[in-house]
Structure 1
Amino acid sequence: MAMEAGPRDREQGRRDVADSASRLSPDGPDEQDVIADEVEVELRPQRRLRIWQLAPIVMLAAVGSLMFAFPLAFGTGDGGAVVAMLGLLISCCAAGWGVMAARRVGHTWPGLPARGSGERPDWRVIALYVGVGAALVALAVWRVARLR
């Protein structure tokens, strides 16, 4: 013999639903209802420069700077200016390679917005970078020209 639910059973079911609804906040369950062992983990690895990317850049920069500095410091013969300019060229190539590698992993120059952020760079920061770069190149060329 099957029993049918009467009016009292229906009201009890409605009260249970109302009690459980009062525990819910507008944006989901209360903090007590959430499992405390959940931890968010970034699935993608962090993008950073690896040793195999840095080693050739550092070696080229060291060789180039030694080639640039040695003739300037010790003033070796007629070929010193050529060796110094070649060292400057190698150092600049290593610096450019390092900047491109750093940009590829997401680093930016200080004062400039992150790549893809949609912000425009400040013209004063760009002017500062261009001015410092031009001054360094002018000093290097002037020093090499004085070797002769």
Structure 2
Amino acid sequence: MSTGTGPETEELRQGSEQVLSELVVPTSYAIALPAIEDLAAPGVVHEREIRPRRRLRWWQLLPIVLMATFGSLMFAFPLAFSGDAASSMIGMLGLLLTAASGGWGAMAARRAGYKWPGLPRRGSGTRASWRAIMAYTLIAGAAVALALWRVVHLRG
């Protein structure tokens, strides 16, 4: 079946159905579709996705990067130059802002179709590798432990 207005014979219709049945269409919009024009019979018009590939733009990343920068500066400078209780509170608030911006960036990237190594794409229905989950858990745990160790030891 054609979406065009041109003449179409039974031979062209059968040829196009055979070509279209052999195509492997990806399940994610983050992967470009194969060129249908090279595989199709002449004179057959095919519909194609015209939306652009989903990706993060600079204006979407700007608030995430600014919040991460501000939070990391709040975490670094008060703890480095003084050791009173107020600076510990500001340092922990900076750590919270940095961690929140990291989560915000990870969720924005996931919604745009990006994925972490070892983890499946969103909506694919496959399970994540237990090795990848363990590695990410250990890395996050080590970062949290180092941050808390720094706050506790600079305080007293």
Report the alpha carbon displacement of residue 101 of structure 1 after superposing the two structures with TM.
0.9
In the alignment, what sits opposite 1:107?
Answer: 114
CA distance in 2, matches of 1:77, 1:113: 44
Q: Which digits, 9 at most, give the CA deviation of each residue in 1:57-88, with x for residues without a partner?
A: 0110000011111123x332412211111110
Instruction: Judge conservation of contact 1:75–1:147 (CA < 8 Å) in 2.
Output: no
In the alignment, what sits opposite 2:99?
Answer: 92
Instruction: Judge conservation of contact 1:80–1:147 (CA < 8 Å) in 2.
Output: no
> Considering only CA atoms, is the larger Rg found in Structure 1 or Structure 2?
1
In the alignment, structure 1 segments of 5+ residues that lack a partner are: 1-23
Report the alpha carbon displacement of residue 39 of structure 1 after superposing the two structures with TM.
9.8
In the alignment, what sits opposite 1:28?
Answer: 15
In the alignment, what sits opposite 1:62?
Answer: 69
Residue type of the alignment partner of 2:122:
R
Instruction: Judge conservation of contact 2:83–2:154 (CA < 8 Å) in 1.
Output: no
Provide the aligned C-alpha RMSD in A.
2.9
Residues 66-145 of structure 1 mapped to structure 2, 5 A cutoff: 66-72=73-79, 74-78=80-84, 79-145=86-152
Q: State the identity %.
A: 55
- Tell me the SS of whatever aligns to 1:103: helix
* TM-score relative to the length of structure 2: 0.67
CA distance in 2, matches of 1:93, 1:134: 15
Residue type of the alignment partner of 2:114:
H
Report the alpha carbon displacement of residue 46 of structure 1 after superposing the two structures with TM.
1.1
Report the alpha carbon displacement of residue 41 of structure 1 after superposing the two structures with TM.
5.8
Residue type of the alignment partner of 1:34:
P
In the alignment, structure 2 segments of 5+ residues that lack a partner are: 1-10, 17-38
In the alignment, what sits opposite 1:7?
Answer: none
Instruction: Judge conservation of contact 1:81–1:144 (CA < 8 Å) in 2.
Output: yes
In the alignment, what sits opposite 2:59?
Answer: 52
